[in-house]
Structure 1
Amino acid sequence: MAKKKRQFKLKRTWKRWRRQLKRFFLYRGHLRWFNTGLVLFGTVIIVLTVTGVGQKILTPPTKPAPQQTTAQARRTFIRRVAPYAQSLQQRTKVLASLQIAQAILESDWGTSTLSKTYHNYFGVKAGSNEPGVVLSTQEFVDDHYETVNARFRTYPNWQASFTAHAQLFVNGVDWNPNKYADVLAATNYHDGAIALQKDGYATDPAYTAKIIAIIEKYRLDRYDQPT
């Protein structure tokens, strides 16, 4: 309503100025100059509009699409991966909360190059006969972090990364198929996080505390299926 009132007021003002100018030119005997000026003014407006200049001047700038806040992006990430983690828990007994928390920690909420480009959400290293890519990474060695180059596994999609991660706990490693037996036996996230450290999944001494903190902050245990 207010916009229509402003438009009506502008039109009325323009008509009043036009009448006054017309009287002035008519009084001076130069009415044809007045008509010529109107034609030229209209031509300029048309040219500016066709070339796009007029649109930039007359059209208000469009607002950019709103970006997701950090909190929104994190909720979106959890909602995206949680159902698949739950389905994997039913098949493998790996708690969904553990998988989601590890994916958050290892991939920085799916924003790392390894996860965005190569769909590896858990920092899994590539075997000699597996598809992989060499990237620099931070590893905890001799009580401190070091930047090293390592060959990481690549996957066709993030679901394949989650599946391979769960199967690692189920199948263990070549030299010890039962390496992650404590992780599979855990019935709650607290015991599961301790088992990750106990079974040698990570070298970071604070890994258990980080996983528990993520699960509790975002209430990821609500995605765990009853055993």
Structure 2
Amino acid sequence: MRNRLKFQVFLVIFAAFLFCVIIPMIFQSKTPEAKQVVASPYTTEEFIKVISRDIKPQAEAYGIRPSLLIGQALLESQNGTSLLSHKYRNLFALQARTGQESVLLVTSHPLVNAEANSKVRFARYKDWQTSIEDYLRRLKSGQVWDKELYRKLATQKGYKEPAKTLGEYIYPYDSNYSNKLIKIIEDQELTQYD
């Protein structure tokens, strides 16, 4: 009888533990947002200097203006303060390919095959340089949108036309994207990297 009573007390305590601790944790666990702002050790200017060292040679090798890619990285990563860019080193919000190391996050805007506010497997990189290399490889091979996008970015003169092209192709949900990109390029004087 005594053992039975001890077992019943144990079950009651265990059930109370589950109810009070574990179940609320399950219901309150939430997938973080890719654009969630996190503390960054960089100012915007420092972030630009760091990523420009990696972007400049690669952008030139692919025939794309470095200022355009630096500006795009600043916008996508919220100046390096987004969770996706800071913790997972994904500067361009690239979705993970099959078999690629990834992280599940909520996207705040629509992506290819994903609506806004849905969970998406984003690519995870060891460093920003790898993120930049992957983005440019995908861009050239037509995996970001199509090969025509890369051709236009590589052949259009200046930074305004390519910025408009990026806005039309990749960011149709944001009719002001190209203006934001142009403003960042001008305000941060990013053409010095071209």
Per the normalisation by structure 2, the TM-score is: 0.70
Comparing 146-155 with 174-183, greater Cα deviation is found at 174-183
State whether residues 54 and 129 of structure 2, in contact with CA within 8 Å, keep that contact through their aligned partners in structure 1.
Answer: yes
State whether residues 169 and 181 of structure 1, in contact with CA within 8 Å, keep that contact through their aligned partners in structure 2.
Answer: no
Report what 1:202 is aligned to. Answer: 171
Render the CA deviation track for 1:31-62: whole Å, top value 9, x for unaligned.
Answer: xxxxxxxxxxxxxxxxxxxxxxxxxxxxxxxx
Q: CA deviation at 1:186?
A: 2.0
Report what 1:150 is aligned to. Answer: 120
Q: CA deviation at 1:177?
A: 3.4
Render the CA deviation track for 1:153-210: whole Å, top value 9, x for unaligned.
Answer: 1111111011112222222129943343211112311111012123x12232221111
Q: CA RMSD in A?
A: 2.3
Which amino acid in the other structure matches residue 124 of structure 2? T
Per the normalisation by structure 1, the TM-score is: 0.60
Which amino acid in the other structure matches residue 135 of structure 1? L
**What is the SS of the residue equivalent to 2:153?**
helix
1:180 aligned to which of 150, 153, 159: 150
Instruction: Please state if 1:114 is matched with 2:87.
Output: no
Comparing 121-130 with 211-220, greater Cα deviation is found at 121-130
1:190 aligned to which of 160, 167, 172: 160
* Partner Cα separation in structure 1 for residue 120 and residue 192 of structure 2: 35
Alpha-carbon distance change, 146 to 176 in structure 1, aligned in 2, over 3 angstroms: closer
Which amino acid in the other structure matches residue 171 of structure 2? A
Report what 2:55 is aligned to. Answer: 85
Instruction: Please state if 1:163 is matched with 2:133.
Output: yes
* Partner Cα separation in structure 2 for residue 169 and residue 175 of structure 1: 7
**What is the SS of the residue equivalent to 1:81?**
helix
**What is the SS of the residue equivalent to 1:152?**
strand
* Partner Cα separation in structure 2 for residue 164 and residue 202 of structure 1: 19
Q: CA deviation at 1:140?
A: 4.6
Give structure 1 regions of 4+ aligned residues with deviation exceeding 4 angstroms: none
Gaps of 5+ in 1: 1-69
**What is the SS of the residue equivalent to 1:133?**
strand
Instruction: Please state if 1:103 is matched with 2:79.
Output: no
Give aligned-pair identity as a percent: 29
Gaps of 5+ in 2: 1-39
Alpha-carbon distance change, 177 to 192 in structure 1, aligned in 2, over 3 angstroms: closer
Q: CA deviation at 1:124?
A: 0.6
* Partner Cα separation in structure 1 for residue 119 and residue 189 of structure 2: 34
Report what 2:189 is aligned to. Answer: 219
Q: CA deviation at 1:126?
A: 1.0
State whether residues 186 and 195 of structure 1, in contact with CA within 8 Å, keep that contact through their aligned partners in structure 2.
Answer: no
State whether residues 60 and 66 of structure 2, in contact with CA within 8 Å, keep that contact through their aligned partners in structure 1.
Answer: no
